[in-house]
Structure 1
Amino acid sequence: MNRAFDSYFGPPSEPINVADFLQQANSAVLSGSFTNASWEQLTSEHRNAVEAEINESISDLRSSLEQVWDNPILSAHVLRQHESTVAFVRSQADTPAPKGRKRKRHDAPEGSEYAQEVLQLQEKLDGVNLRCWQLTMESALCMRAAKNSDYNALDAPKKAGTGVLHTLDLDHGNIGGTHSSTPDSLRSPSPNAIPYPNAVISLTVYNRISYLPSCLTRSSQHAVLSTQTLGDLLRVLPCASSNIPMEELDAEGDISGYNVTDQTGEHAGCLFSIEDRIYGDGGENDDYAEKLIAHFQKLPQDKRPQVKKALTSANETTFNVLTLRMHQPYWILHQSNCEHFFTIDQIRHAPFRSNPMKPLNIIYRLAHASDPPSGYPLTLHLAPTVQDLCRACGKVPAVHSIVGDIRLGESPCLLCGPCWRTMGPPKNTQGVMVVPLVIPFVNH
């Protein structure tokens, strides 16, 4: 059931033309229509009073939360209460308990020095009149243990490209940065370029589950600029197929080894399927888009997808010329038979500098110190890679696949570097091959 929920997308939004969105957003910002008329009608004293009340309320909430979470006794009590509530809801809803060893609960003994402090916190929590967030029996349908895709292997956004975020400076009436319709990967800064800000597009990439090919799991999340190309996105996708070592052939054409330093890297063949348009790799003889359409022509007429080859390739198509739908899965094919799917999560106007207390429409957001000014596409989330352990020590991930070595008792046999060095070279090297395993995408 959980896998089915993760593989369900939609409903999709109405088609959004990125170029039209940018034009409307820029016009609204430059004309000042993003301001709230009701807010502007207030007197300066009234506005100052509202701002002071908002800041004070946030400070009080933050202070009360920090007092609880910074105190290990109080935070442990809150966590125990939450676990007890979840366990009660599960038992009443007759749902299977999560697998794994149950934690032993350590309740504070009565009469301890912390009992009064905990009782005061509990009385304060019981006095809260807000009841809409309490867990009910129906909440059990949405409870599950954390999965691998829920964790983030990155502690900060990873800069994977050269794209620069252009911003509006409303205080000075100008636009910072340069803009060009040429893809970021091909253009160089020009002082004569027309200044215009970007749109930032957030998207999520999904992969098929090897043992459940009909289900998908989240692999990563990225932020790309509207001036960047589909090829710029493809180059930053974490994919094992892009790190496969190249085969070395002998005079007879048999595999004699692998070249670890020369990996497949570049995506010689790829395609994107977006809104009934196929964006290929632009090859003259082996364009993936033409191959896919030729394959569709062999299907019966009633089962033939109504798609057309786009006029531009993936490396020439920028996001600002596309029409996209939110939460609609789009298909990526590269490296011969490696598939990915991606959905658009958000299309937002580039951040701009202005009065931070001025109300804004929902399609805009303010610049923040955490917004990287460059390095787009950014990798925002990366699911940890699950690696096979060494068959000898069973403690560290394997880096070699040993084929044809009778000393190991199985072929292929996965070993880590230290264990393979400890084994030493085989006496008869004929027929023994050391195959390097794919190194997962790692952030530094």
Structure 2
Amino acid sequence: MNVDLSRAHDLFFGPPSEPIEVGKFIEETARIHAATAEDVLTHPSWQELSAESRAAIEAECSGSIAELKTTIEDVWNNPMISAHLYTKHDDAISSALGQADGLAQKGRKRKRLDLADQSRDTPELQALQEYLQSVPLRCWEFGKESSLFMRTSRNSDFNAFRSVKKTGQGNLSRHYQLTDFSYDLNPEEPTTPDALITLTVYNRVPWVQSYLVRMSQHAVLASQTLEDFMRSILCDSSEMPVEEVDAEGDVTGYSLDTRSSDGEEGCLLLIEDVVYGDGRPGVDYAEKLLSHVSKLPQEKRPVITKSSAALGRTTFNSLTLRINQPYWMLHQGNCEHFIVVDQIRLPHPSDPASGYPLMLHLTPALSELCKACSKAPAVISVVGDIRLGESPCLLCGPCWRSTGSPKDDGEVMVVPLVAHNRSWAEGGGRR
């Protein structure tokens, strides 16, 4: 498939849902009775069945599940059979991807795997193959049309975390316990209803500004504020080295150990034509945005209003949101993101009880390799050193130490690169 077309398909948001009042959603769903196994057994339709019919249904359900479970366990516990299934799956994927070669760009053919059968005719494998062919369901197979919906994996498809990361102090106000297919409310905790909102953060692709790529995914409580969510976003702009200037105002170096007290740490979030500022004294980012919009031509001027409440005093349950609708975020001067609401739902017994906002996904950071050894990730950028052949030159720590100090330290500047330390630190952090 054409690379640009494939990437463009990943950027489609929507269609957006109808506006959802989060507070109203919580109120209405809190009155809905959760169906349990006891409710099914007491349902009039079940009671109308005869004892023989109910026994037959119960036997069919329990027997089918037990048979399916036993079959799956027998297959995956046999290394030869499970390896055969993995190989057949690779064969099917390779064949389906081969169908898309005609749509791929010239000179960029996908590599086909040579997975010809090699002594796979043992009795166990033959019996398994006959069993699979006897299954009347055919929609699970990879047909020719499946290639239209397949692509190779990208960096944004991988998750840097092996488990959910807790980035805040939010707690579920309603705690559920799963006992015998029923949900029992813990009487020791308050019963204020709450909801979980899943949001995905997208960035612009640096080399194609019209394309977006997923950066992270978060789960927040409806009772939390917009500021709680924005503080949980891990962004390289929040870890940029700070300039060190002399008395004359010239840049003499950079440091990651100190933070500028007057740096551009403001932020704003534009939701449904309402901009929420950070509430800093004087002119905040929201005021600057309105000032910029007012200078646009009348026909290109969007209708935007400023919220009277800042990010730290605006909770999600007071908002009206649309699923699959991108909302614009700006912080750290000119760093922008796009926030997409994926789902709004009630808490589940399997949800963590504390640590919200939760970080569900983080795209692994891609580090530049050292220009000297081409093996280790670069950690510094050296500017003005004629020995390196290019300026700036990205180097790792060992290569820079092996190079030694330059003859003229005043003409050489060493800039530390973003180390992504916040990605692995516990808890929240700075915006």
- Secondary structure of the 2:167 match is strand
The letter of the residue matching 1:5 is: H
Q: CA deviation at 1:56?
A: 5.3
Q: Which residue of 2 aligns with 1:40?
A: 42
- The offset of 1:92, in angstroms, is 4.7
Distance (Å, rounded) in 2 between the aligned partners of 1:92 and 1:33: 46
Cα contact 1:166–1:350 (8 A) shared by 2: no
Q: What is the CA–CA distance in structure 1 between the aligned matches of 2:54 and 2:419, rounded to whole Å?
A: 56
Q: 2: CA distance between counterparts of 1:429 and 1:91?
A: 56
Superposed displacement of residue 237, structure 1: 0.8
- Counterpart in the other structure of 2:118: 108
Q: Which residue in the other structure is 1:407 paired with?
A: 387
2:308 equivalent to 1:301: no
* Residue of 159, 178, 184 corresponding to 1:152: 159
Query: Aligned pair in 2 of structure 1 residues 47, 220: CA closer, same or farther (>3 Å)?
Result: farther
- 3-state SS of the aligned residue for 1:74? helix
Q: Which residue of 1 aligns with 2:95?
A: 88
Using the TM superposition, name which of 371-380 and 433-442 deviates more.
433-442
Tell me the equivalent position of 1:442.
423
Question: Which stretch has the larger CA shift, 380-389 or 39-48?
Answer: 39-48
* Unmatched segments (≥5 aa) in structure 1: 179-194, 352-366
Q: Match for 2:221 among 222, 225, 229?
A: 225
Is residue 21 from structure 1 mapped to residue 34 from structure 2 by the alignment?
no
**RMSD, aligned CA:** 2.9
CA distance in 1, matches of 2:219, 2:412: 45
User: In 2, distance between residues paired with 1:317 and 1:241?
Assistant: 24
Give the secondary-structure state (helix, strand or coil) at the position aligned to 1:393.
Answer: coil
For residues 272 and 59 of structure 2, the distance between their equivalents in structure 1, rounded to whole angstroms, comes to 48
Q: Give secondary structure in 2 for the equivalent of 1:82.
A: helix
Cα distance change of structure 1 residues 422 and 74 upon mapping to structure 2, 3 Å threshold:
same
Cα-to-partner distance string for 1:14-53 (whole Å, 9 max, x where unaligned): 1111111111122224xx6889965532459898986776
Q: Are residues 136 and 106 of structure 1, via their aligned partners in 2, closer, same or farther at CA, if it must alter by over 3 Å?
A: closer
Mapping for residues 43-442 of structure 1, pairs under 5 Å: 54=61, 57-92=64-99, 94-96=102-104, 102-105=112-115, 107-109=117-119, 115-168=122-175, 176-178=188-190, 195-263=191-259, 268-351=265-348, 367-368=349-350, 371-440=351-420, 441-442=422-423
- Paired with 1:241 and 1:153, the residues of 2 have a C-alpha distance of 19
SS at match of 2:329: strand
In the alignment, is the contact (CA less than 8 A) between 2:382 and 2:415 conserved in 1? Answer: yes
Alpha carbons of structure 1 residues 301 and 175: separation in structure 2 relative to 1, 3 Å: farther
Contact 1:167 1:175 in 2 (8 A): no
3-state secondary structure, aligned to 1:261:
coil
Aligned-pair identity (%):
48
- 1:163 is displaced (CA, Å) by 0.6
Letter in 2 for 1:6: D
Q: Is the 8 A contact 1:268 1:281 kept in 2?
A: no
**Deviation string, structure 1 residues 380-432 (Cα, Å, up to 9, x no partner):** 01111111011111112111111111221111111111111222222321211
Deviations 1:286-321 (A, max 9, x none): 311111111111112221111100111112111110
| Distance across 2 between alignment mates of 1:153 and 1:244 | 21
Give deviations 1:259-296, integer Å, cap 9, x for gaps.
Answer: 21124699731100101100011123231111111111
What's the TM-score, normalizing by structure 2? 0.85
Residues 146-204 of structure 1: CA deviation (Å, up to 9, x unaligned): 111111111100011111112256877665545xxxxxxxxxxxxxxxx4032111111
- Which residue identity does 2:312 align to in structure 1? N
1:102 CA displacement: 4.8
Provide closer, same or farther for how the CA distance between residues 336 and 51 of structure 1 changes in structure 2, counting only shifts above 3 A: farther
Q: Give the direction of change, closer, same or farther, for the CA distance of 1:410–1:331 in structure 2 (3 Å limit).
A: same
Q: Which moved more, 1:13-22 or 1:54-63?
A: 54-63
Change in Cα spacing, 1:34 to 1:13, as seen in structure 2 (3 Å) is farther
Is 1:5–2:9 an aligned residue pair? yes
Note if contact 1:391-1:414 (Cα within 8 Å) is conserved in structure 2: yes
Q: State the secondary structure of the residue aligned to 1:28.
A: coil
Give the 3-state SS of the residue equivalent to 1:262 in structure 2.
coil
Residues 242 and 267 of structure 1 are in contact (CA less than 8 Å); yes or no, is this contact kept in structure 2?
A: no
Q: Per the alignment, do residues 200 and 154 of structure 1 end up closer, same or farther by CA in structure 2, a change over 3 Å counting?
A: same
Tell me the distance in 1 between the aligned counterparts of 2:19 and 2:290: 24
Following the alignment from structure 2 to structure 1, what is the Cα–Cα distance between the partners of residues 255 and 54? 67
**Aligned residues between the structures:** 406
Task: Tell me which amino acid in the other structure corresponds to 1:262.
Answer: T
Cα distance in 2 for partners of 1:117, 1:267 equals 67
**TM-score, scaled relative to structure 1:** 0.83
* In structure 1, distance between residues paired with 2:120 and 2:29: 61
Q: Which stretch shifts more, 284-293 or 331-340?
A: 284-293
Counterpart Cα distance in 1 of 2:298 and 2:380: 48
Cα distance change, pair 172–12 in 1 and its aligned pair in 2 (3 A): closer
Q: Which runs of 5+ in 2 are unaligned?
A: 177-181, 426-431
> In structure 2, what is the Cα distance between the partners aligned to 1:406 and 1:245?
23
8 Å CA contact 2:197, 2:219 repeated in 1:
yes
Q: Which amino acid aligns with 2:92?
A: T
CA distance in 2, matches of 1:346, 1:419: 47
CA distance in structure 1 between the partners assigned to 2:402 and 2:336 by the alignment: 38
SS in 1 for 2:311: coil
Rate the CA distance shift 1:130–1:155 in 2: closer, same or farther, 3 A: same
SS at match of 1:129: coil
